[in-house]
Amino acid sequence: MLRFFIVSVIIGFWSTKMISQEKEENPFTIKWDNGTKVESKDKNFKLKFGGRIHLDHAYFSQDADLDAAFRELDSKDGTEFRRLRFFFSGVLYKTVEFKLQMDYAGGAARLKDAYIGVKNIPVIGRVRVGHMKEPLRFDALTSSKYITFMERAIPADLANERNNGILLMNDFFNNKLSIQTGVFRNADGFGNDKEAARDVAWTSRITTLAINNTEKEQLLHFGFSYSYRKPDKDEYEISVRPKSHLANKYISTGNIEGVETINIINFETAFTSGPFTFQGEYLGSSVKQDLPDFSETYNFNNYYGQISYFLTGEHRPYKNSYATFGRLKPKKIFMNGGTGAWELALRYTHTDLNSKDIYGGEQGDISFGTNWYLNSATRIMFNYVWTDIDKKDIGHGNLNIFEVRFQIDF
C-alpha cells in the first residue's frame, strides 16, 4: 500500500500542477461520475481515478462421494477481499491515452493494466502498448465491476487474461464490425518477462453487431477469436475451480511437458432485449506436445450459456466490442425514492479436461444468481452454485456453494 500511496502523491501533484498551469486560459472541471473525473474546458485533457472493493464470503458443502474421492473439506467457509484495486487513467491532447491499475488483494501487489495508447489513427484506429487484456473471450473482456456472476464462466487458466504486448483495434461500418489483433509475451504479476526467449502469443478477434437498436433496447452480438501461443518453458497446465475463487481445485490436466504450440479458438454471442440478456461462449484449446520419442495433440474445451432478467425493468448497456457490457444504472436508487435494481440470473458451465491419455476430469456448474444494485456504484451479489465433478480413477461427486459479494467502485 505504501508504494501505491507514493504513486498517488506523485500523480496528484502532477495533476494539480497541470491544472494550475492552464487554469487561466483553459479551466478544468472536477466532478463525480462513478469515479472522480477531471476535464479541461476544450476537452483536450481528461483524467479519471478511483478503485473498487470486492468482499466475498462463501460456504461449502460436498457430498460423501466427493469426500471419498478428494478427501473432506479442510474448511466449510471462507472469506477474502477478491479485489482491492486502484487506477488512474486519462487522455492527453485528445489522442494519447493511458491507464495504470494495481490490485492489492491477497496481501500482494499485482499489476492489472499499464498501457500507453494513441487513438483516432487513420485506417489503423487505435494502438496500445503495455500490459492489458488480450482480445479473447467476451466474459473476460467484461470488467469485473459488470459481470453477471461473481466468477467468470471461462477460467483464466485456459489462457492469461492480460499480457504484455501491442494491441491494434478499430471499428467499421458505424461499429457494426470490430477487429482487434495483438502480439503478446507471457508476463508475471508486474507485467515483466525478462527471460522471454521465444515465448509469444498472437491473438485476434472479430465481432459484429447484427442488431443494435438503442430505442427498442435490442442488441445481437457475435464474435470469433483465435490465439496462437508458443510457450517459452515448453509446459502447460489447466486447473479449474468450481465457480468460487475460495473453492479448491478438483480437476486438472497436470503438467504437460514438451509443449510446442497452443491454439485457442473462441466463439461468443450476446443478445439483449429490454430487461432480458442471453450470453454464451465456446472455447477450445489444442495443445501440441513434441517430445524426442513421442508427439501428441490434446484438445480441451469449456462452454457456457447464461440468461438474466431485471425484475425492475433495467436494460444491460453495451459499451463497445472490446469492453463489452458496461455499467448498470438503476431506474430508482435505493433509499432515494426506490429499491434499486434487482436482477435474477441462471448459468450452466461445462469444462472437459479429458483428452487421450490425459484424464484431467470433467466439471459442470449450475449457478443461480441474484444481484441487487443499490445504485450505479454499489452492488450486493448472491450466488448459489451446484457443481458436478467427475474424474476417472478418482471418483465422482457434488459440491454446493453459497456465496455473497459486497461490491463498490469509486
Between CA 368 and CA 306 the distance in angstroms is 10
For the chain, give the mean pLDDT. Answer: 91
Place of cell 500511496: 5
Q: What's residue 187's pLDDT?
A: 65
Report the SS3 class of residue 191: coil
Q: What's residue 28's pLDDT?
A: 87
- Binned at pLDDT 50, 70 and 90, residue 5 comes out as very low
- Binned at pLDDT 50, 70 and 90, residue 18 comes out as low
178 Cβ contact list (under 8 Å, min separation 6):
169, 170, 171, 172, 206, 207, 208, 320, 321, 322
Report the candidate in 169, 166, 198 with the shortest Cα–Cα distance to residue 184: 166
pLDDT over 50 (residue 9) = no
Show the domains of the chain with their CATH numbers.
42-409 (2.40.160.10)
Report the candidate in 26, 70, 15, 60 with the shortest Cα–Cα distance to residue 383: 60
Between CA 404 and CA 323 the distance in angstroms is 25
Q: What's residue 317's pLDDT?
A: 96
**DSSP secondary structure letters along 166-177:** EEEEEEETTTTE
pLDDT over 50 (residue 312) = yes
| Contact between residue 359 and residue 371 where contact means Cβ atoms under 8 Å apart | no
Per-residue cell: 66: 466427493
pLDDT over 80 (residue 14) = no
- Give phi and psi for 314, each to the nearest 5: -70, 165
Average pLDDT value for residue range 325-350: 96
Report the candidate in 328, 343, 336, 326 with the shortest Cα–Cα distance to residue 378: 328
C-beta neighbour count of 339 within 10 angstroms: 15
Q: What's residue 3's pLDDT?
A: 57
Report the candidate in 122, 119, 146 with the shortest Cα–Cα distance to residue 46: 119
- For the ranges 35-49, 175-189, 309-323, the lowest mean pLDDT is seen at 175-189
pLDDT over 70 (residue 130) = yes
pLDDT in tens, 61-119: 999 999 999 999 888 999 999 999 999 999 999 999 999 999 999 888 999 999 999 99
**DSSP secondary structure letters along 53-77:** EEEEEEEEEE-HHHHHHH---S-SE
* Residues shown for the chain: 410
